[in-house]
Amino acid sequence: MGVSRQQAAENRRAIVAAAEKLFRERGVEGVGLAELMKTAGFTQGGFYNHFESKDALVAAVVEKAMEDGGNEFAAIIENARSDNTNPVKARIQWYLSPEHRGNIDGGCPLSGFVVDAPRFGDVAHGSYAEGLAGNLEEFAKVIEETDGVSEGSRKKAIALFSQMIGTVLLSRAVVDVDPALADEILDEGREHLLSVVDEAAGTRSRRHSRRR
């Protein structure tokens, strides 16, 4: 008896989910198809019923991860607005938190796949670049809305996000062997970026006061 279309779709989702977890943990090149399919609960021979190649699977994983990351970003911003807190600071605090640092399997895919991205196939690499561009565009919009000015919002988004990724990657790199150093990197990086946001807010407030 053949597999139903619904079951086939569920099987495919299971393979993508297993692949994303393994790829994030060990990198794309560190995961073979036999191990991947076993983790997903299938035999290796069934892989080609769902994907033409490993590159096609990687592309599906990255596309899904970027979509999930975009939804996570939107949720953080929406929650901050609902709580009447600064959404830019909320983004920084979440990104540079111990919880996000430890959530390699389900954290931001832009930091999760940044090392592998240059070695992706064209489709997956394009999805990564598109996800990064979209993230920066949305972050710039949030900064623009928060600051009340459009000038420089994209430059600020790029600078802040680049520092956020660098901080979390360095902290992750040493957390297992030197937790104190990892925490120091995370804490100092977070406090520095929050102070940058506060300083910018103070400058805007002073300019507004002089105009009045």
pTM: 0.87
Q: In the chain, which residues fall in CATH 1.10.10.60?
A: 1-51
Share of the chain above pLDDT 90, in %: 83
Residue extent(s) of CATH 1.10.357.10 domains in the chain: 55-211
Check residue 200 and give its pLDDT.
Answer: 74
H-assigned helices in 27-121: 33-40, 54-82, 87-95, 98-102, 109-112
Q: Could you tell me what percent of the chain has a pLDDT over 70?
A: 93
Which CATH code is given to the segment(s) 1-51?
1.10.10.60
Closest CA to 112 of 182, 60, 47, 61: 61
- Mean pLDDT of the 97-107 span: 95
The more confident residue out of 210 and 17 is 17
Read off the pLDDT of residues 22-56 as tens digits, 9 standing for 90 and up.
999 999 999 999 999 999 999 888 899 999 999 99
pLDDT category at 140 given cuts 50, 70, 90 is very high
pLDDT top residue among 94 and 46: 94
Burial of 161: CB neighbours in 10 Å, binned 0-12, 13-18, 19+: buried
What per-residue confidence (pLDDT) applies to 126? 97
Q: How many residues belong to the chain?
A: 212
Contact at 8 Å (CB) between 12 and 56? Answer: no
Query: What six digits make up the tokens of 76?
Result: 């953080």
| pLDDT tens-digit map of 142-152 | 999 988 877 89
* pLDDT of 208 above 70: no
Tokens found for residue 78: 């929406």
**Residue with structure tokens 């953080």?**
76
Mean pLDDT, residues 108-125: 96
Given the candidates 1.10.357.10, 3.40.50.720, 3.30.1280.10, 1.10.10.60, the CATH classification of the domain at 55-211 is 1.10.357.10
pLDDT at residue 103, rounded to an integer? 95
Mean pLDDT, the chain, rounded, equals: 92
Average pLDDT value for residue range 100-115:
95
Contact criterion met (CB below 8 Å) for 87 and 80: yes
pLDDT at 82 over 60: yes
**What are the tokens at 165?**
């990724």
Does 203 have pLDDT greater than 70?
Answer: no
